[in-house]
Amino acid sequence: MTTPIRIGVVTVSDRASRGEYEDRGGPAILEVLGEILSSPWEPVPRVIADEQSLIEQTLRDLADKAGCCLIVTTGGTGPAKRDVTPEATAAVCDKILDGFAEQMRAVSLKVVPTAILSRQIAAIRGKSLIVN
């Protein structure tokens, strides 16, 4: 039997982390992954507040302890003061993959004009790909 790959999905949201509203981003990502992946995989979901130190620790834990080969984040990439997901990602990663972010914004702009405000990045930590 094939060992399932582990994929972290991190929702960064103050309100969702406090239970003030339902997280829809994380479950939507999990649904898409379920539709497109053919290999066995195991989701490792997290819902956390917009705190840079907490985001950094969560990304480190998912990459280093949980063994996630892919970590996808949602939230915290806009221009607001508390949007610090890209900074947290860059702080814990070895290499930034600029082309991923450029392509994600280019595709998103075809659907949502405000995608130009996104500051998402993609980067490598050890053997893990982290995508905002």
Q: Go through the domains of the chain in sequence order and give each one's CATH number.
A: 5-131 (3.40.980.10)
Q: Which amino acid is at 66?
A: A
- Closest C-alpha to 121, from 81, 73, 59: 73
- When pLDDT is cut at 50, 70 and 90, the band that residue 123 belongs to is very high
**CA–CA dist 13, 17 (Å, integer):** 6
pLDDT tens readout for residues 23-64: 999 999 999 999 999 999 999 999 999 999 999 999 999 999
Q: What pTM does this model have? A: 0.96
Q: Percent of the chain beyond pLDDT 70?
A: 99
In this structure, the number of other CB atoms found within 10 A of the CB of residue 115 comes to 15
In this structure, the number of other CB atoms found within 10 A of the CB of residue 83 comes to 17
Q: Percent of the chain beyond pLDDT 90?
A: 98
53-57, 99-103, 105-109, 113-117: which is most confident = 53-57
